[in-house]
Amino acid sequence: MNTPTFLYIDDHPITIEQIIDYLQTSGQLSSFISTVLQQHVLKQELQNCPQAKVSAEQIQQIITNFRQENQLLDDQHYQQWLAQQGLTRTAFEQNITHQFQMNQFLPTIVEPKLQETFIDQKLHLDQVVLSRLVVENWELAEELKAQIIEEAASFEQLVREYSISGDRVVNGMLGTISRGQLPDALRVAIDLAKVGDIVGPIEIDQKWCLFRLEQFLPASLANEEVQQLLCNTIFDQWIAQKLHDKRVQLRVA
């Protein structure tokens, strides 16, 4: 029996056996199989989900709306646009169908677990904006903190003069950091602080640090970025569970 061929390079046929060999040699075979498995399971779920049912009329209306919104009603312009995207009419229709089905299907997976996942992930979703001053010993850190509290010197000035960290050139600004990434001692202190407070000295990596809380950015489910992150997390967990017990066999011959 001849090995099926579906790929040609410079009119030279590349067999499935060769493709598998190339993927294995490049270390991408596992990723390839994982992608195929995920898409296979997802297609089965979409077929069995009542909310994901879609008619040909609905898809054609979506495509018509898309063409109208993007000034592609002229058939020649539409064909040129498809060619630029590397798509055929059939492939574009399949993409639209899949996207529609996913938009209908995902809420059935995500919404029941959204609030619970938000609570579980809130520590990592909450963010703070911090600046820091880093010195070699505790005594100096305490002395500098006293100067700041007594308003004898500004935090920025002392950072430029005494900090041994590279971020001293930007006045010690660390930027936005997830609460979950903070060392435990620092997180506890920050949770008790107000914006503008100096926290520390706290020992980190055998150095003594003073931190100023610049801003606290609590996560909210009303935030679209937070919602999208949680949706991705829930979907990844769902698909991992679906794939867990699947048995995969690779048969080339």
* 14 and 112 inside one domain: yes
- 1 three-state secondary structure: coil
* 132 and 185 inside one domain: yes
Q: What is the mean pLDDT of residues 80-84?
A: 92
Residue 152 lies inside a defined structural domain of this protein? yes
* 52 and 106 inside one domain: yes
* 87 and 146 inside one domain: no
* 9 and 40 inside one domain: yes
DSSP output for 6-23: EEEETTEEEEHHHHHHHH
- Report residue 1's pLDDT band, with 50, 70 and 90 as the boundaries: very low
Judging by DSSP bridges, how do beta strands 127-135 and 173-178 pair with one another?
antiparallel
Q: Is the pLDDT of residue 128 over 90?
A: yes
* 135 and 213 inside one domain: yes
* CATH number reported for the structural domain that contains residue 142 in this entry: 3.10.50.40
Task: Please give the model's pTM, rounded to 2 decimal places.
Answer: 0.71
* 15 and 32 inside one domain: yes
Judging by DSSP bridges, how do beta strands 198-204 and 207-217 pair with one another?
antiparallel
Contact (CB, 8 A) for 165 and 172: yes
pLDDT score at 5 = 64
Question: What mean pLDDT is reported for the chain?
Answer: 89
Residue 205 lies inside a defined structural domain of this protein? yes
**Token duo for residue 28:** 């991408």
pLDDT score at 34 = 87
* 108 and 131 inside one domain: no
Whats the size of the chain, residue-wise?
A: 253
Q: Give the count of domains, the chain.
A: 2
Residue 75 lies inside a defined structural domain of this protein? yes
pLDDT score at 163 = 92
Instruction: Give me the phi and psi of 183, to 5 degrees please.
Output: -55, 150
**Token duo for residue 191:** 């949770």
* 43 and 60 inside one domain: yes
Q: Is the pLDDT of residue 152 over 80?
A: no
Q: Of 80, 55, 58, 77, whose CA–CA distance to 68 is shortest?
A: 77
Round to the nearest angstrom and report the end-to-end CA distance of the chain: 9
* 37 and 115 inside one domain: yes
Q: Of 98, 91, 100, whose CA–CA distance to 65 is shortest?
A: 100
pLDDT score at 13 = 85
Residue 208 lies inside a defined structural domain of this protein? yes
Q: What is the mean pLDDT of residues 1-6?
A: 58
* 108 and 11 inside one domain: yes
pLDDT score at 242 = 86
pLDDT score at 208 = 94
Residue 17 lies inside a defined structural domain of this protein? yes
* 113 and 236 inside one domain: yes
By percentage, how much of the chain surpasses pLDDT 90?
53
Secondary structure of the chain: what % helix, strand, coil (to 5)?
60, 15, 25
Instruction: Give me the phi and psi of 13, to 5 degrees please.
Output: -70, 135
Give the structural domain span for 83.
Answer: 5-119+231-243
pLDDT score at 168 = 87
Residue 226 lies inside a defined structural domain of this protein? no
- Report residue 243's pLDDT band, with 50, 70 and 90 as the boundaries: confident
C-alpha distances out from residue 81 to 71, 76, 95, 98, 244, Å? 11, 9, 15, 20, 40
Residue 224 lies inside a defined structural domain of this protein? no
Residue 85 lies inside a defined structural domain of this protein? yes
